[in-house]
Amino acid sequence: MNNTVIRPHPLTIFYLMRSYWLVFVAPPIRMLLQYIFIKEVQIILLSETVAVAITLLLAFFRWFFTKIEVFNDIWVIKKGLFIKSRSIIRLSNASGIYVKRGSIDVIFKSASIFINTQTDNTEQNNLKIKFKTGDLEKIFNNSCTEIVYPVRTRRNFCRFFVIPLWIAFLMIFCLLTAFIYFKTVQILIILVINMYFTAVCYHNYKNGGLYFDNNISVIGSRGLLLYNFYCKKEKIGAIKIYQTPADRKFKTCKIKLFEYSEGAKGIKVRNADLNDTVAKINKAFNLNLNV
Amino acid sequence: MTFILPKKTRVLWQLRIAVAFIFVCVIIFAIVPLNLWALLLVWFIAAFGLFVVFFYVPVFIKNYKIMIYNDCLCIYKGVFIKSLIVLPCVRLVIVKRLVTPITSLFKLHLVLLKVARGWIFIPELDSNVSERLLSIIQGEIYE
């Protein structure tokens, strides 16, 4: 049996610190109250410094003493220094696997994995861990041999810039009427919003894949986050295909898949080619849809 | 196999929505002092109501289709944003049929499907059609 032992990514330390959010929120609140009532602010107190240091140390130890052992289909998660726990998850019993990557993950070469165990939505009963990208590939090669990475679907370049184009028209209108109705600040806000939507649209254009067979693999995005989703065909709960008026013009669609679970997150692929998508669903589920 | 919504459903929904909009306008007249802005608001709501009753509802009912292929239930619906929902029949958790006093006058039944992450409402179908749909879905589940 192949045995791979992996530790989570160091960024997990910051993720673990969120349980102690009060330690970080209390000092600014304390400073604000001091300013309001006494008009005198003490920037740092010894007790607060000690509390932050203890929090950091606790999070570090929790990260350091967490290990994941992968034996093919079985994941063994070992946690704890004094109170030790050992959880065993069989991937074939999970309803779906999500892998999430954001801008920070791209910089630090990490990815978050979420395994839905079909119970509820709590972290206790599902598995959520941040790995290094290299380790994640190693794990998937060892344990998920049936997973096929989806090919990028056919995309329509013009469709992706419908929203930024509309915002650009709004900006031109603002510039033309700038002296009468809009101030510079408002124009700058619209420019920033347009840049954000352009970045999101380009991100959606570059990423998005569908693979339908006995196993389903999807690459979707939400904002600037990238999601990979894997599950068996029998675990799919529902598939929804949407077409807005812009999608009908460019013959594209948005597809959203839900696994069969109350805690299902769902994954969306934007602006995939309609005919291609429907053909893949027809082939995988033996249907005769004609949209 | 394809099922479509009957004309009675369109009439029923047009009546419901018309009554709702009339009720809203009456409430506005009762609460807001009578002036130009109140009249404009009521005109706007009435115009929107007319649009919904005489355009949106008929097109929605006309576009609504329920198809059963192999062991999948497919629902095609929508007016401006059109959607197609594919549901493997074995993944339907609960299938419910609902009758109210008003729908029983029209001999219509509302069907509700419980799937992962929520419910899907199928607008009122003829009673014999809804029985046939439920028996087909039941057959697919137990085959």
Show Cβ contacts of residue A181 under 8 Å, excluding neighbours closer than 6 positions: A174
Residue B55: band (very low, low, confident or very high) from pLDDT cuts 50, 70, 90? very high
Q: Please state, in angstroms and rounded to a whole number, the distance separating the CA atoms of residues A278 and A280.
A: 5
pLDDT value at position B14? 94
C-alpha distances in angstroms, A14 versus A9, A56, B29?
10, 8, 56
- Within 13 Å of residue A18, how many CA atoms lie on the same side as its CB? 5
Whether A287 and B81 lie within 8 Å, measured CB to CB? no
Whether pLDDT at A145 is above 80:
no
pLDDT value at position A37? 86
**Residue among A248, A264, A281 minimizing CB distance to B86:** A281
Q: Which residue of B has its CA nearest to A277?
A: B84
pLDDT value at position B56? 94
Whether A244 and B91 lie within 8 Å, measured CB to CB? no
Give the dihedral of Cα atoms A165, A166, A168, A171; nearest 10 deg: 180
**Which residues of chain A have a Cβ shorter than 8 Å from any chain B Cβ?**
236-245, 248, 258-262, 264, 266, 281, 285-289, 291
Average pLDDT over residues B29-50: 87
Residue B143: band (very low, low, confident or very high) from pLDDT cuts 50, 70, 90? very low
Whether pLDDT at A1 is above 60:
no
Q: What is the per-residue pLDDT across A98-109, written as a single tens digit (0 to 9) for each?
A: 888 888 888 888
Q: What percentage of chain B reaches a pLDDT higher than 90?
A: 36
Q: What is the per-residue pLDDT across B71-128, written as a single tens digit (0 to 9) for each?
A: 888 999 999 999 999 888 877 778 888 888 888 888 888 888 887 767 888 888 888 8
Average pLDDT over residues A59-75: 85
Strongest mean pLDDT among A20-24, A225-229, A261-265: A225-229
pLDDT value at position B79? 92
Tell me how long chain B is: 143
Segment among A111-120, A132-141, A142-151, A215-224 with least mean pLDDT: A142-151
Q: Does B85 touch chain A if contact means CB atoms closer than 8 Å?
A: yes
CA distance A190 to chain B (A): 26
In this predicted complex, what is the ipTM? 0.79
CA distance A208 to chain B (A): 19
Q: Which residue of A has its CA nearest to B2?
A: A289
Show Cβ contacts of residue A236 under 8 Å, excluding neighbours closer than 6 positions: A216, A257, A258, A259, A260, B88, B91
Q: What is the per-residue pLDDT across A3-17, written as a single tens digit (0 to 9) for each?
A: 778 888 888 888 888
| pTM of the complete model | 0.78
The per-residue b/e assignment along B30-66, b for 16 or more CB within 10 angstroms, e otherwise, is eeeeeeeeeeeebeeeeeebeebbeebbbebbeebeb
pLDDT value at position B59? 94
